[in-house]
Each structure stands twice: as C-alpha cells, then as structure tokens.
Structure 1
C-alpha cells in the first residue's frame, strides 16, 4: 500500500460525483507521474490502486444498474466502457512491469496510459455518466455511491493495484475478449 498520497476515501455521495472525483484524481496522479521530481514509483503504485479499485467497483456495481435504469445509456456504451477499462489496465500493467522510472520506456508507457485514461474519462463522462445523472433517481445514485465507495475502498485496502493482481485482471479481460489482439 502507498503512503503519503491521497487516494481519497469517500464513504457516501452521488455515485456520479464520486466517479468524476476519481477521474480528477487520475488526472492529478498522471500529471505527477510525468514529473521527474516526483517519487514516480510511489505515484505509480497509488495510481494502480485507485484505477483498479475504481474500475472493478464500477463494473461490479454501477454499470449493471445504469444498463437497467438509464435508457440513454445503451449496452454498447457499457461494453465499450469495459473494453476501455481493460485497455487501461493493460497499459497500467506495462507501466508496473518496468523496473525503473527514469527511462524512456517508462516515459512512453506513462504517456500511453495517460492517453488511454484521458480518452476513457471523456467518453464515459459524456456517454454514460451525463445521461445517468438525469435518468437515474437521486435515491438510486446515493445508494450506489455508498456501495461503490465501500467496494472501492475495500479493494484499495487489499492492494488491488499490485502487479500480480493487475496481471490476473488483464488475463481475465483477454479471456473475455475485451482486448483487441491487434493492439
């Protein structure tokens, strides 16, 4: 587990706000990852825990509810979100498997991860979260927020961003056909 980096520990709130708060946290951590003056290894571990916990909790708890309750969020949007999670996790694994943090390979892997995460954030906020904000009741969004936050925090406590766990998640995504073999 990482120390000294705020991973956020929400316990309640509108699930859409909690998810977008995490998106802003991703952007901050990725910015730190690009700084030569940062402890890139610590930032990489923190980012891994937040990214994996966020996505796993979202796919387990949030996406299924939104698929049922938000008519403007179609199954394709959800499936595409899951594919983008898998691509981000694959890029995260490549970053985690690098030995050093002061190499061109690290810089390239961080850039690839940053690009994938930025793309996913934009699409998810526009095509999934924005429609859900108006189509899913406040009560359901608050209930989901509490469940999502609890699951996310539990996963962080389990060090879900550890390289072996990320390897397992990426292997499972490959088995499910979420990763394009051509990329």
Structure 2
C-alpha cells in the first residue's frame, strides 16, 4: 500500500472517477454508490484541509494561493454533492443534471490540484515527509469515515459552514 500522500490523493481521485462512471449507469444502485462517493469525497477533502494543505503551505515552492483555492473548490464540491443528495429520484433528469454539475466541479478541482499542488509537493517535499503526511491523511480520512461524514445531515452542515466561509 502506498504511503506517499501524493500517491494516496491520486488514488482517491481515480476512485472518484470510477464512482462517477458507475453513477452514470442507470442500472446501477445509484443510492448506494452516491453514499460511497459522499463518504470518500467528504473524508478526502477534510483530511486534505486539516492535515495536508496546512503542511504544504510551509514550503516556499508550493503555491499558497493554489492551496487556498483548493479549499475553496472543496466547498463548491460540497455544495454540488449536497444538491445531488437532495434529489430523491435517481431516475430523474434533475438527478442526472446534478450529477453532471458535481462531476464538472470535481473534475475541475482534481485537474487543478494535480497540476499545481500535487506536482509541487512531489518536487518540493521530501519523500519521508510525504510518507508522514500520507499516514496523517489516511488516519484523518478514516476517522471522518468512522464519524459518518457521508451522511446527508453531515454534508448539509459542512455545506453550510463552507458556504459561510467563502461568502
């Protein structure tokens, strides 16, 4: 199992893409898949913001603006996730539209984060430190999952808190 924080984050990104492909399948159990996505997405974002982003901001060659922007994009993702979770009919056009809005927001974030923050981290942060951050990231992510972070009420509170933060 990888311990490098960059590799762990990239693995989660690839899992998001898999879940999006599965969620687009009208024959799939979309409710269960959305629960899996919500859990991983929220835990991932919160672990990045609490353990990874603050540590990366200490490195001069890692762009602080990009790190802050990544947190703003997490907030946008939480809003889009909540909008999708609040649509009860997974067969509806509204659900399809909200899914695509979430996919678009997340793909934009993933692309930017991989090109900026993660590339900088790979080049500027020592391998040992990336391994330490990876351990912290996984522990925090698992803690958030254990706390039920994919539950709609949790996502509502998070979306409200992050909306207040970016207003």
Same fold, judged at TM 0.5 (above): yes
**2:6 aligns with one of 8, 16, 20:** 16
| Deviation of 1:73 (Å) | 2.1
Instruction: Determine whether 1:127 maps to 2:116.
Output: yes
What do residues 63-117 of structure 1 show as CA deviations (whole Å, max 9, x unaligned)? 0011102x23222101110111000110000011111100000000000000111
**2:15 aligns with one of 25, 29, 52:** 25
Report the structure, 1 or 2, having the larger helix content. 2
Normalising by structure 1, what TM-score?
0.88
| Deviation of 1:158 (Å) | 1.7
1:95-174 alignment, distance < 5 Å: 95-174=84-163
| Deviation of 1:161 (Å) | 1.1
What is the distance in 1 between the residues matched to 2:126 and 2:61? 14
| Deviation of 1:128 (Å) | 0.3
What do residues 111-135 of structure 1 show as CA deviations (whole Å, max 9, x unaligned)? 0000111111000000100011010
CA RMSD of aligned residues (A): 1.1
Contact 2:43 2:142 in 1 (8 A): yes
| Deviation of 1:174 (Å) | 1.6
Normalising by structure 2, what TM-score?
0.97
What do residues 40-63 of structure 1 show as CA deviations (whole Å, max 9, x unaligned)? 000000000000000000000000
5+ unaligned residues in a row in structure 2: which ranges? none
